[in-house]
Amino acid sequence: MTALNERTATELARMLAAGEVSAEELMRACLDRVAAREETVQAWAFLDPEIALANARAADARRKAGGAPGPLHGLPVGIKDIIETADMPTENGSDLFRGQHTGRDAACVAMLRNAGAVIMGKTVTTELANTCPSKTRNPHNPEHTPGGSSAGSGAAVADFHVPLALGTQTAGSVIRPGSFNGIHALKPTVGRIPRDGVLMQSHTLDTVGVFGRSVEDLALITDSLSDFGAANLSRYGARHPDLLSAMKQEAPAPRFAFLETPAWPEADAGAREAIEGVVSGLGAQCVRESLPSPFDRIIDFHGAVGAGEILAYYGHHAETSPDKVSDLLKARLAESRQFDAGDYVVALLAREPLNEALAALLDTYDAVLCLPAPGPAPHGLSSTGSPRFNGLWTYLGVPCVNLPRLSVDGLPLGVQLVGKPGEDGKLLRTARWLDSKLAG
């Protein structure tokens, strides 16, 4: 019998709604797992068992009092520690914000609470959600990185501490930890989940994403987080797509465009063999494709946009509080100064035609299929791994999902699927089909 803390969020939501288990019972199961494994995994920046249990009891009390339980009733959720929580500190993985209590919830946290979720604690992030590695270890092998910057969220879900967690992606900080930790992960269309109350690194690139244990889990939590206000009408029109409903729609067997992407030369032999096996297994449903020549420069375009905006948001910290900024981040900021304003503008202007080229490809196919990382999680803790297989898609603002169905050298490796902006539901429907096929 599967332990409570190891079940999918979708299974748990049904059990909680039916009264088969209480929120407190589920929280205790999760906390027991944390107690047994946190010394090894180190996924949590802040976790007070009494606060977590009190929040769970409050959820049970609301249900007993006849309150509408909400789609996420009683489900524990981990929150990346660059996302504000009213009742917990938000330290952004940085000495600059040590002990900070903002006293408010980020918009996405408020939406989780409104949907009935129980905020369990704050998960570890790298320094300011940037490149400096965190204390978190990969639960599959603690000598390997869990990825970053959403290190704690990925590891906590993978190690059965919590069924769901929030992360953010500016380059590869959701999909890469999903791949390295062997879990499902979704970076939705940029802007689908509101960013109010989330530490800003890049207003062009930053995207709130989610981790879970099934494709249905990703849809379940994202449906409760989706924002279709005026700022998003250009991407979504007047529609309010329900991802769970979209996943259940009847559709022909999907077709995939396999792209090696400009990062392909960095892929190790094991990763290439693993993804080639997927392509071969799909037969005529998967076709090797390419995009026009500007696509060859897309990694540089992402770098130019990220450099300009990260320097704008973080540069002053290195100047005013150098003793509280790591040498690695200082070096990253110094590299960012090598880009000029022209690089930044050229990169911004290139995005629309590249999105149009991708959209034209996806008029023929249901999703792009590609690697989510150059290989499994690297050995050692001095790096979080390369985000170059992810940053190009973050630059375009398109939805991406990781399916944890491959392995190399005994460590997880995912399959990354990419869709059109705004078509997150179609992407998840396609992902569920492929996930089921790969799971056997």
* Catalytic site positions: 80, 149, 173
Distance CA 65, CA 67 (A): 6
Pairing of strands 286-288, 400-408: unpaired
C-alpha neighbours within 13 Å on the C-beta side of residue 303: 16
The answer to whether 366 and 376 have CB atoms below 8 angstroms apart is: no
Distance CA 165, CA 158 (A): 10
Q: To which H or E segment does residue 300 belong? A: helix 298-320
SS3 content of the chain, % helix, strand, coil (to 5): 45, 15, 40
* Cα–Cα distance for residue pair 148/47, rounded to 1 Å: 20
Distance between CA atoms of 390 and 185, rounded to whole angstroms?
13
Please say whether the dihedral angle defined by the alpha carbons of residues 268, 269, 275 and 279, taken in this order, is positive or negative.
positive
Task: Measure the CA–CA gap between 319 and 329, rounded to whole angstroms.
Answer: 12
Question: Comparing C-alpha atoms, which of 165, 171, 182, 164 is closest to residue 149?
Answer: 171
Sign of the alpha-carbon torsion through 19, 23, 29, 30: positive
Q: Which of 345, 350, 256 is nearest to 299 (CA)?
A: 350
Burial call 257-276: b when 16+ CB within 10 Å, e when fewer: bbbebbbbebbbebbbebbe
Q: Are 167 and 154 in contact (CB under 8 A)?
A: yes
Whole-angstrom CA distances from 119 to 46, 72, 79, 143, 328 are: 11, 11, 7, 29, 32
